Amino acid sequence: MRLIDPGLNKNSEFIKVGQKAMLDYAAKVKGIPQNALTEVMFGMATTAHILGGCKMGKNSVQGVINDRMQLHGYANFYVLDGSMIQANPGVNPSLTITAMSEYAMSMIDVKPGHTQKTLEELMFSHNSI
């Protein structure tokens, strides 16, 4: 059971437009509309983030990707989505995915004959108004 302080703002477990969409679609396809048990019994919204599937390991026996998010056995093939995260962090994983992707991209060498600007150079390269 979860205690909720009535003075605190919280995310609603019931989203009116979502409920209407579910009921309308169920009627259209002759389905049975249902809510999640946690929403009905405990007032807790249910969300899902698809994670895992590409375990990190030192080689293809231990995992699918290495510590630079490269797929074992394939040159220049990177996994940069939620499948590289093996456990639910308990919050929306979008910033974790972004940070891991930025890290992986920072490990890629600059193409010969090209230059790479630093973040500071990119930030200050445009004239400000």
For residues 54 and 84, the answer to whether their CB atoms sit within 8 Å is yes
- Residue 49 annotated in active site: yes
Residue in 49, 72, 114, 126 annotated catalytic = 49
Catalytic (active-site) positions: 49
